[in-house]
Structures are given as structure tokens and as C-alpha cells.
Amino acid sequence: MQKLIVGVSGINAIDNPGPGIGVARSLKEDPDLAVTIIGLAYDAMDPGLYMDWVVDKSFIMPYPSGSSEAFIERLLYIKKTCGLDHVIPNLDAELPLYIKHSRTLADHGIKTFLPTMEQFRLRGKDQLTAVAEKIGAGLPQTRVVNSLEALVQAVGEIGLPVMVKGCLYKAYRAGTLQEAVGHFHHLVAEWGYPIIVQEVVTGDELNVVGVGDGTGECLGLVGVKKICTTALGKIWTGVTVRNEPMLAAARAFVREFRWRGPFELECIISPDQIYLIEVNPRFPAWVYLATGVGLNLPSRLLRASCGQPVPPDNAYEAGKLFIRYSYELVTDMTNFQQAITRGETR
Amino acid sequence: MATLARLAINEEGFVFDPTTGDSFGVSATGVIILKGIRDGLDDKKIAQRLADEFIVTLDDAGRDVADFRVQLKTLALI
């Protein structure tokens, strides 16, 4: 396979890490791929800018919430200056922009492998009921609210405790109405409306990562149980699981929606029911676990995107441990200076 | 019993459920009882295994098996 230059975002390997480093590392570890990684950062302090054994060169990007023209122009500048064959966006906030402009990017020789906008909307927390029904999963009682009065009513209908969730990010458990109101105000201030109020269901919290090929076929699935999480609920230690009902739901998700690209399903498994809690239309930050157990999903995505054969073997072993750790890197100021002054490194 | 059948049990007493990711630690006595139940033995035969392995009367071993079964039921493993 010819050398590929791949842009990867989400290289903020911090305490709430983006998936980019796991994706980049996976691509580098495929012995049959010759990949140069271009880090697409939003902050000069993103650790990925300094991890030169994973990220070969980095660029500071304009925020996706700003001008889409500026964003696309920046990608075209990168294409012009160092080549850019493919982009794997890994952050929720930038996905609509990449999806919307995927044709433009393709016309300029920059490939993506993403869901359609219609598929992307399925990840909305207000769409989960329809998704859960189609894949044979349950959904905790859920209300989508747009006012404080509606929140109070929803809490009354569902009963305490409840989960109070932002439309894009963050979820908090509330044991009292006062707590729920506090979380509501916090989430509205940070992410806006709507707010989702959800019944708390008990069971094993399991997640599954996968890639769909866009025709209903799955390019690989790996399930995980989070053993230890950070204060933000991010995985710190986990173990691979083979939970057949969850894997079947994930396969149904790919088949029913002809999902194209990476995804993560967050589930709660009780003895007689699987509940769908969230759909993420991108790789999760723990994606390297899949690579570590033999299913290099970022590499499979890239191969599928380039029309290359994808390994047919989807087996992996349950009971493989994932340990995240903190580590320090000491370097000079060059990359930081370049990121600040030029908006790019090396 | 279906749950118990799928557990991975090692000789040092580490028990892992590959479906849920749960793990447990059990004593040497627990390992023998778990394996006995999984092999389809009745409590008497499991108690005999314990009495053969450890310095314990058959009666005491029988009580250990019964107590352990209660714990397994509490954990929904049988």
C-alpha cells in the first residue's frame, strides 16, 4: 500500500482524553500501512503536538463552531503544504462540519469515512428511543426538556434518582430535585438546550466500539467493561468482554442503519434486558484496546476507505486488561513556539 | 448455572466472567466447590472432595458447601 498521509483530530491526550492518540497509534502499528500522521489540534498545549513518535506533524485548527470556510481552507492549506490523503475526525463537535463538507474535501483529494448527516442525527439523545427499538435494546424512561418547568415535571414522572444529561456532553446523577435543578442549570449554561432526563437503570455498564462499512456489514467489534473511571466518568482501567446480547445489538445497529464509520454504543446490561444509553458516532478514547487485542479498527476503517482488503477475522479474547497511565515528556519549547507563532509544528 | 458455566476459574482463586467483566477472588475451598458445582457433582461429593484435600470433617465440609451455595445464589451465579 502506498504511503498515506492521515489527519487525526482529538490529540488532546489529557485527563479527559480525545481518541486521536489511540487512533494514530493504531494506524502506526499496522505493519502493512505506511502512514504519516498529521495532528489536527485545537490548542498548542495538546500533548499530541509533542508526541513525535505518534504524530509526525501538527497543525492548529480553527474551532469548528466558527467559520466553516476557514476550517475547510485550513484543511486545504494542509493538503497543499504537506499532503493530506485522509482525515479521521474524532471529536463530536467537528463531525457535522466534516460530514457536511465531505464531498468538497473528496473533490480536493481528502477522503473521510463518516456516517451521513441523517445517520449522525441518530446519535442525538432525543433519537435514542427509535435507535433502541430497531436494535432490540431497551431505553430507560427518557424525557427531553427545554425548560425548568418541564424538568420538574419529568423528574416527577420518572421518579428519583434520575440522570440529567446535556444534549452533547456530560451526564450527572441526581438523587434530589434540587440536585437535578442544579445540574440542569449547569448543563444549559455550558451546552444549551435540550436537556435529557433519564431513569437510572441498574446493571453492568458495558460499551462496544465498532466500524460499519456503510452497506450493513461490520468491520469489527470489541466490548469493554469499565473497571475504574476518572471523576469525569472516563475509563482508566477496563477489561474486554464478550457479551453476546450487546454484540448482537451492535451488529443490528450497523445492519439496520447501514452505519458508515466508527461508533461506540454505551449500554447497561441487566440479566434480562440490554439498555442503550448513548450512541457516539466516532471512535472512543479507549479505541487502542481493540488494537491491543488484535482488531485494529482505525486501520480497518482506513483500509475500507481506500478500497483495500480488511482482515476477515473478528475474534478477540475476553479478559484482556486495559490500563491507562500518566507519563511525563520533557522537551524544548520549539514545538510550542511554532504552534503559537506559525500554527503548525516541525 | 448458565452463569457459572461460563466463568473462567484459575487455580489461585481468580474468577472472571467474560460476559460481564466481573471478577471475584475465592479461597482454595471456594475453587473446589465452584469446580464441583460446575462438574455437576452433588453437595455430598463436593464435600468429600474438600475432606480429601483439607484436614476437615465431612460434616464441616458439607456446611461449607451449603454456606458457599448461599453466597453464589446471592451473587446470582447459580
If asked whether residues A336 and A250 sit together in one domain, one would say no
Where do the structural domains in chain B lie, given as residue ranges?
2-74
**pLDDT score at A1:** 67
Question: In sequence order, which ranges of chain B are alpha helices (DSSP H)?
Answer: 2-6, 28-38, 43-53, 58-74
pLDDT for A238:
96
The chain B residue lying nearest A206, using CA atoms, is B20
Number of Cβ within a 10 Å radius of residue A224? 26
Q: Is A236 exposed, middle or buried (0-12, 13-18, 19+ CB in 10 A)?
A: middle
Please name every residue paired with A204 in a beta bridge, in sequence order, or none if there are none: A269
Q: Does residue A39 belong to any structural domain of this protein?
A: yes
Chain A nearest CA to B23, separation (Å):
10
pLDDT at position B77 is 83
Q: Name the minimum distance, in Å, from the CA of B31 to any CA of chain A.
A: 19
pLDDT category, A233, cuts 50, 70, 90? confident
What's the rounded mean pLDDT across residues B55-74?
A: 94
Total number of residues shown for chain B: 78
What pLDDT does A122 receive? 87
Domain that holds residue A176: 141-199
Do the domain assignments include residue A134? no
Whether B21 sits inside 8 A of A227 (CB atoms) is: yes
* Residues of B in Cβ contact (< 8 Å) with A239: 16, 21, 23
Average pLDDT for B37-64: 95
Q: Tell me: do A35 and A91 sit in the same domain.
A: yes
Q: What is the DSSP letter of A292?
A: H
Residues A206 and A319 in one domain: yes
Per-residue confidence at B4, pLDDT binned at 50, 70, 90?
confident
- In this complex, do B18 and A224 lie within 8 Å of one another by their Cβ atoms? no
Q: Are residues A246 and A334 in the same domain?
A: no
Residue range A128-134: mean pLDDT, rounded: 91
pLDDT at residue number B1: 62
* Residue A133 maps to a domain: no
Nearest to B21 among A239, A244, A271 (CB): A239
Q: Under a CB-based contact definition with an 8 Å cutoff, are residues A80 and A62 in contact?
A: no
Is residue A210, in this structure, part of any structural domain at all? yes
* DSSP H or E run through A143: strand A142-145
Residue A204 pLDDT > 90: no
Instruction: Tell me: do A109 and A15 sit in the same domain.
Output: yes
Shared domain for A235 and A289, answered yes or no, is yes
Q: Indicate the number of domains in chain A.
A: 3
If asked whether residues A180 and A236 sit together in one domain, one would say: no
A154, A300 contact by CB (below 8 A): no
Query: Closest chain B residue to A268 measured between Cα atoms?
Result: B20
